[in-house]
Structure 1
Amino acid sequence: MATQFIHELRFADLPQDVRHAARIALLDTLGVAAAATRTESSRIARDHAAALFGAGTAAASLLFDGRRVSPAGAAFAAASTIDAVDGHDGWRPSKGHAGCHVIPAALAMCEAEAIEAGEELLLQTVIGYEIGCRVAAVQHATVPEYHASGSWGAVGTAAVGARALGLNAAQTREALGIGEYHGPRSQMLRVTTTPTMVKDSSGWGAMVGVASAYLARDGFTGAPAVTVEAPEAAEWFSSLGSRWIMTEQYIKPYPTCRWSHAPIRAALELAAEHGLTHRDIARVEVRSFREVLTLATARPRTTDEAQYSVPFPVAAALVRGKVGPDEIDGDILRDPEVLRLSKGMRLVEDPDCSAAYPARRVAQVAFELTDGRRVESPMTEPLGDPERALTEAQIREKFRSYAAPVAGARRTGALEQALMAVESESVPGLLALLTPPPAMAAAAE
């Protein structure tokens, strides 16, 4: 079933809402990629790819950079870059993110294999999401440890690679098995507790998946992929082509771990309801599900620590009224008022919230005010889920605000237009907008 879906899916098979969701995913993810090129993590990943993943008979470009490397190296660097600013989409049952590895892999494979049709880029994106998210659901149901997105993303990107290379059914089966076996089974709760640049292992998942497809083409074996072929997987994979997980993704309004989004929303709405500023608040309490308590870094030293925190972005939201890329890096990490609220914040597990996770990510926020009063929010869920979707206008504005500081207003506008009509564009045309380094884009403005 999976192999047939990978190779036989055609653009005409995609319902209109699936096409639209894929366009939105490309736009949102590549906006995050642009913003993330300003991070030290992205610089290191791109330099690493240029040094150690040299271009051979197949080559692809580093996004917002232009240097040529192997397709596995390009996928690694772009996925690591997107992971560097935690603003990309996700799917609740996966407890993670498909786009940050699928989209870099699809772009790298299309460029390396001279695939020019934008329709095919969109199809590979849908294939990667549909396969990868199903693998995630099976993995979470059958494996006790909570692994980062790259662990199952390696299988989704192997599916993208198999499609791009035109592998036969036997080779595709091997590619999925290689990707599953070598996918990084990284301990997600380790990095939420002690945040570093390793994040969701998306770079490694993308690299493994792309390499797996090329290995399978050359005769390397690795089947079966248990998360695709085990009896427990049948229920998920039987719905390929009828249930479109592509349309079930959430879009993040803030560039932080999704677990912090309900507290941020609750805090902003509670302050607005009572006409409060941060100066009126003596202390903040957050009640939520158990995993939120691992995001306890109150005085982050790096952007990674700020993104994998609940106290810091909630405090930043109360002080600045918003949370964007500038609220998770730079001078704000030393802002005394943000740090006052962050260091004094109390995180409490709520049993009902824990029971609802991961289907729902619920939080309640309370303020102890300087005048002695206590005010509380209702139980709150994050914006951006399908039930509380951001509007297309909001998503486009997010893209512009993330991409324009790096790519320039003119190039950002051209990218927005091209990505929202990707099936009518050429991949080389898109890459011409995605690959020049920021200095060249700024000079062209």
Structure 2
Amino acid sequence: MTNATQTLLSGLWDIQNHPLSDKARQDARLRLLDYLGCTLAGAEMERSRMMRLVAASGAGAGPARLIGLGLKTAPALAALVNGTNAHVAELDDGNRFGMVHPGAPVISAVLAQAQASGLSDEDILLGIVVGYEAAVRLARAVQPDAKDAGLHATGICGTVGAAMGVAAALRLDKAGMNAALAGGTTAASGLLKVIRGASQLKPFNAGHAAQAGLSAALMAVAGFAGPADVLDGEHGYLHVMSGKPDKTAEALVGTGTLCVGDVYVKPYASCRHCHAPVEAALILRQAHGLTPDKIAKVAVSTHRMAVHLHDHTEITGVHSAKMSVNYCVAAALITGQSGMAAFTPEHVADPEILDLTRRVDVRADPELTALVPAKRAAVVEIHCRDGQILRDRIDLPKGEPETALTAAEFETKFLDLAGFAGLDATKAAALADRVLNPGQAGSLLHSIDAL
């Protein structure tokens, strides 16, 4: 049997030891800018609680920036705080085949260590590329079994991605990369139980993954060796996380396209499973001039993974709302909003939105389920009080590589998030220019340090 561990490591080592293509560099810069917008917004949303976390940690000043909070601290704490904040707004990137959000854990860990070690732009970009590759390849291998078992891929795969991203950025040798992989896999955790009810801990899965992955890489730097087959066998990562001992190494070979360029960028501020229904609802609202008084009920048919854990109608807060297909569709139909504005405390408690939320029925369709992961389809039927039934279907919501945001839409998303966080529009535009254009004066670390 092929050693899955060495298959993954060989692929990552090959990336590390060849110059990045111009496309890979630009994709990494795009991922970084999107991450910064999400993290700034998350920091604004959770400012008071994050400041309490920093105070309670006892950590003093350090080299790593707490993005959007005006402080610098130790890299491990920065990875935790930034990784958590990057996932708070539910706008961070993801991969539909692995059902994983790589950016929050990977970039948080890489940036934290880059600031501590004074790494170059090329080191940072390499760390992002390798980290995404590790997280997404592993997620593709263990999904959908991991989600069915209640495991959150952003936690269990993001930890490994963060470890390998930092290890690559630090240019560790093969033994060091193996040790980082072993450390990342044994530190990996994250339960989907935390997305239910009044829980607000889903973003912690991303933050913990960043912190634990960084620690795993530093254990490798210190010389702590790991097994050469940590992914393999009955007690290896693939079996433990997927429940299937016959997982093969083929899933870890890669697709021929670097994973850093094979992610979706979210246009809507909710769980990705909500996006196809929301998009269909917005299209129908605009096309037919729908107002709340015209809607009797709504039927949503979608794939199984978008129903499990996402069909609740009792909304307990902002985090609960972002996880609910029912709420997201109702809010889109009533307000016409799908971004941050749809999830204000006022909207989440709005009796009109909550009433329609309870009249949205979400069900799994076997035919749509069979299309996953190539498509994440949803059909929305709006039953009007006059007897009309309005219908629309979305196979892939906006933001996938096949349905990518335009350059203008991408820029608008970042500027909107930066503005939400209080960043001056001129400064935000200048930051975007510096991150995306390598010819601009100042390194990436200089740009991050200004936040």
Task: State the TM-score, normalizing by the size of structure 1.
Answer: 0.88
Equivalent pair of 1:100/1:202 in contact (CA under 8 Å): yes
Correspondence for 2:109 = 105
Deviation at 1:346, TM superposition (A): 1.1
Query: Deviations along 1:199-230, whole A, 9 cap, x unmatched?
Result: 15111111110001111222333334317998
Equivalent residue, structure 2, for 1:439: none
When the two chains are superposed, the root-mean-square deviation of aligned CA atoms in Å is 2.6
* Number of the residue aligned with 1:18: 24
Segments of structure 2 that go 5 or more residues without pairing to the other structure are 1-6, 239-245
Contact 1:35 1:325 in 2 (8 A): no
Q: Is 1:281 equivalent to 2:295 in the alignment? A: yes
Which of 418, 422, 425 is the equivalent residue of 1:403?
418
What aligned pairs does 1:368-407 form with structure 2 within 5 A after superposition?
Answer: 368-406=383-421, 407=423
State the AA in 2 paired with 1:79.
G
Map residues 207-226 of structure 1 onto 2, 5 A cutoff.
207-223=211-227, 224-226=229-231
Distance 1:135 1:369, change over 3 A: same
Matched, 1:123 2:126: yes
Paired position in structure 2 for 1:206 = 210
In structure 2, the CA distance between the partners of 1:142 and 1:287, relative to structure 1 (3 Å rule), is closer
Match among 162, 180, 183 for residue 175 of structure 1? 180
- DSSP 3-state at the match of 2:414: helix
Distance change (3 Å), C-alpha of 1:270 and 1:416: same
Question: Does the alignment pair 1:61 with 2:61?
Answer: no
Q: Which residue of 2 aligns with 1:92?
A: 96
Return the match for 2:276 from 253, 262, 266. Answer: 262
Query: How far 1:7 sits from its partner (Å)?
Result: 6.0
Deviation at 1:159, TM superposition (A): 0.9
Q: Post-superposition shift, 1:401?
A: 0.7
SS in 2 for 1:298: coil
Distance 1:37 1:388 in 2: 29
Change (3 A) 1:421 1:268: same
* C-alpha contact 1:118 1:426 (8 A) present in aligned 2: yes
Decide whether aligned partners of structure 1 residues 137 and 109 sit closer, same or farther in structure 2, where only a CA change above 3 A counts: same
Output the CA distance in 1 between the equivalents of 2:94 and 2:117. 28
2: CA distance, partners of 1:65 / 1:11: 36
State the AA in 2 paired with 1:18: A
Report the CA distance shift for 1:221/1:194 in structure 2 as closer, same or farther (over 3 A): farther
Give secondary structure in 2 for the equivalent of 1:97. Answer: coil
The 3 A distance-change label for structure 1 pair 334 and 194 is closer
C-alpha change, 1:3 and 1:380, in structure 2 (3 Å) is: closer
* Residue ranges of structure 1 left out of the alignment (5+ in a row): 435-445
Paired position in structure 2 for 1:438:
none
SS at match of 1:86: coil
Name segments (4+ residues, structure 1) moved above 6 Å.
227-231
* Residue 442 (structure 1) aligns with: none
Provide Cα deviations, 1:216-251, integer angstroms capped at 9, x if missing partner.
2223333343179989563344448x4312111111
Whole-angstrom CA distance in 2 between matches of 1:4 and 1:380: 35
Q: Determine the structure 2 residue equivalent to 1:156.
A: 161
Does the CA-based 8 Å contact 1:145-1:187 persist in structure 2? Answer: no
| 1:415 corresponds to which of 392, 407, 431 | 431
- Match of 1:34? 40
Q: Kindly provide the CA deviation profile for residues 115-144 of structure 1, in whole angstroms up to 9, marking residues without a partner as x.
A: 1x2232222111111111112122337756
- Partners of 2:412 and 2:202 lie apart in 1 by 26
Give the counterpart letter for 2:85 in structure 1.
Answer: T
Partners in 1 of 2:439 and 2:10 — Cα distance?
22
Q: Provide, for residues 58-106 of structure 1, a one-character-per-residue CA deviation record: whole Å limited to 9, x for no partner.
A: 7412111132322121111111011111011110111111011111111
Q: In 2, are the aligned partners of 1:306 and 1:329 still within 8 Å (CA)?
A: no
Separation of aligned partners in 1, 2:395 and 2:143: 25
Match of 2:445 in 1: 428
Q: Which residue does the alignment assign to 1:137? A: 140
Equivalent residues of 1:289, 1:349 under 8 A apart = yes
- Amino acid corresponding to residue 130 of structure 2 in structure 1: I
Bigger shift: 7-16 or 302-311? Answer: 7-16
CA distance in 1, matches of 2:431, 2:351: 38
Counterpart residue identity of residue 292, structure 1? A
Q: TM-score, normalised by structure 2?
A: 0.87
| Counterpart for residue 373 of structure 2 | 358
- Cα offset, 1:342, TM superposition: 1.1
Whole-Å Cα distance in 1 between the matches of residues 17 and 435 of structure 2?
16
Paired position in structure 2 for 1:297: 312
Once the two structures are TM-superposed, the CA of residue 12 in structure 1 deviates from its matched residue by: 7.4
Conserved 8 A contact 1:72-1:211? yes
Fraction of identical pairs, as percent: 30
Structure 1 residues 210, 393: CA separation in 2 closer, same or farther (over 3 Å shift)? same
Distance in 1 of aligned mates of 2:212 and 2:338? 33
Give the structure 1 partner of residue 241 of structure 2: none
Give the superposition deviation at 1:11: 10
- Cα distance in 2 for residues equivalent to 1:376 and 1:7: 49
Q: Which has the higher contact order (CA 8 A, sep 6+)?
A: 1
Contact kept? 2:312, 2:326, Cα under 8 Å? yes
Q: Secondary structure at the match of 2:224?
A: coil
Residue 320 of structure 1: how far off its partner (Å): 1.8
* Aligned partner of residue 366 in structure 1, secondary structure: strand
Write the deviation string for residues 161-180 of structure 1: whole angstroms up to 9, x where unpaired: 21233433212211110110
Secondary structure at the counterpart of residue 38 of structure 1: helix
Amino acid at match of 1:170: A
- Tell me if 1:252 matches 2:258: no
Query: What is the rounded CA distance, in whole Å, between the counterparts of 1:142 and 1:301 in structure 2?
Result: 28
Letter in structure 1 aligned against 2:450? L
Pair 2,295 (structure 1): closer, same or farther in 2 beyond 3 Å = closer
